[in-house]
Structure 1
Amino acid sequence: MNTSPLPTTWPTRRLEAVIFDWAGTLVDFGSLAPTQIFVEAFATFGITLTLAQARGPMGLSKRDHIRTLLEEPSIRAQWQQRFDATPGEQDIDALYQRFMPMQIQKVGDYSQPIPGAVETLAWLRAQGMKIGSCSGYPRQVLDVLLPLAAARGIAPDHVVAGDELPAGGRPGPYMALANVLALKIGDVRACVKVDDTTPGIEEGRNAGMWCVGISLAGNEVGLTEEALGRLPPAEVDALRAAAAQRLYAAGAHVVIDSIADLPRALQEIAQRGGEPSAQ
């Protein structure tokens, strides 16, 4: 991944704020914490999920994530066979209640900043930019994660949890726009949404923002930094290309390997003409 020095100059277009996702974007290289817990929570009900299935709806609020998994035909068929009934709202509630304490217990194990995150946030502040964030994590989970991340240098100016807005979560624009309100940004076109999931990119586009996708460090590849480093370069290139294709299809304006590359991406956006919705 790109480890070039942070730029010291800024083009003419002034960007005012960056709104980040959390797992796979700021912390938790590979977005492993939520994925593994979904597998383990479903297993307690006798339902087998692959990691790829668990990753599929990543970026949604966790309750919506569970709902979407239960709509997947093979998972739905397992549930029907085991319980002799199709899954309903009470089953979503039961899975969510099982998931929550498991996620709260484990999220701290995945609070390590992604390499380059601390330096990039410091660079953004040096440019006078505001830093927002939002997550599919419920507030109870973020209440555990946030102080651990802050102690390691990751402390955005504002945080919105996936379960605290009446309007709902991704791919709707609501969490991104809640950051705009809290940060007092006058123009959504001066904001950049950074996310490693397709619903997160769709959220930013629906909010009228520029969008930067994260490929190698995020959910779309889903590997630890160590596992990624053991792969042959050609395989890494293939994973990068496949992830970028999905993120561009969701509406990303730029796709980068990780948050370490964000200053370069912001300079590219700042040099572009036109508006986010037209590109």
Structure 2
Amino acid sequence: MSTSDIRLVVLDMAGTTVADDGLVEQAFNAAATALGVQPGSPEHEPMLAHVRATMGESKISVFRHLFGEEEKAQQANAAFEQAYDELVTAGYCAPLPGAAEAIAELRASGRKVVLTTGFSRATQDRILGALGWEQIADLTLCPADAGRGRPYPDMALTALLRTGTDSVRQMAVVGDTGYDMLTGTRAGASVVAGVLTGAHGAERLRTDGATHVLGSIAELPGVLGAL
């Protein structure tokens, strides 16, 4: 089975199909403040660096690492989700250029498309609603739907099972972070594509397993069509 048999495309949201524009960092600052860590303080800087390095990872996992205690992690995660929701509601949410068209082209070619996120289901649904994307994909998944978030393969493999795709070799996993690339490689995807519209650069994407590095998601249908 070759990469020309790709029947399932698993796409990340923020930074890949949806513009981030610093929303994650703004929401993190609100979460840190809720835990008594003020932006610009010596304690805040290494925390922000960790958030940047782990873009794509399940957010509750990030807060467990930063704050240790489960109660504090849950408090920080709740503050993060609330802040992010408020930013989305205020209109700070937009699709990346060509994203909707690329998804439509992939589906028109007979491929299944699944949108995944490291956010909660409530936040994912808020983003989809703000964009009018409730029906844009065949399926949407968050970590709670699959078991574990990135960099584990759970969401990609759940996408494969729920869409009835025959083999992991028929799957492409696409994202803007090293964690997306690790997810794809661990899931056994034939195509693991990084895009340069989000958190991590080409070197990080390739180090973590990218088979392709694209300027944006708009290039993906052409790349898959040429395989």
Calculate the TM-score normalised by the size of structure 1.
0.71
1:203 to 180, 183, 188: 183
Counterpart-to-counterpart distance in 2, 1:179 and 1:117: 19
Query: C-alpha displacement at 1:154, in angstroms?
Result: 7.3
Which residues of 2 match residues 70-109 of structure 1 at below 5 A? 70=67, 87-108=68-89, 109=91
| Structure 1 residue 63 corresponds to structure 2 residue 45 | no
Alignment partner of 2:219 out of 236, 245, 261: 261
| Map of 2:10 onto structure 1 | 19
Query: Where does structure 2 lack aligned partners over 5 or more consecutive residues?
Result: none
Give 3-state SS (helix, strand or coil) of 2:213's partner.
Answer: strand
How far the C-alpha of 1:53 sits from its partner, in A, is 4.1
Gap regions ≥5 residues in structure 1 = 1-10, 71-86, 221-242, 271-279
How many residue pairs were aligned?
217
CA radius of gyration, larger in: 1
Please tell me whether the aligned partners of residues 120 and 144 of structure 2 are also in contact (alpha carbons under 8 angstroms): yes
Deviation at 1:263, TM superposition (A): 2.3
Superposed displacement of residue 44, structure 1? 3.0
Aligned partner letter, 1:57: T
1:160: which partner in 2? 141
Contact kept? 1:57, 1:69, Cα under 8 Å? no
| Contact 2:27–2:81 (CA under 8 A) maintained in structure 1 | no
Q: Which residue of 1 aligns with 2:114?
A: 132
Q: Which amino acid aligns with 2:167?
A: D
Task: Check the 8 A contact 1:193/1:212 in 2, yes or no.
Answer: yes
Q: Over residues 71-121 of structure 1, what are the superposed CA-to-partner deviations in whole Å (9 max), with x where a residue is unaligned?
A: xxxxxxxxxxxxxxxx42222122122222222222343431100112111
CA shift at 1:52, angstroms?
4.3
> Would you say 1:40 and 2:30 are equivalent positions?
yes
What is the distance in 2 between the residues matched to 1:90 and 1:180?
34
TM-score (norm 2): 0.87
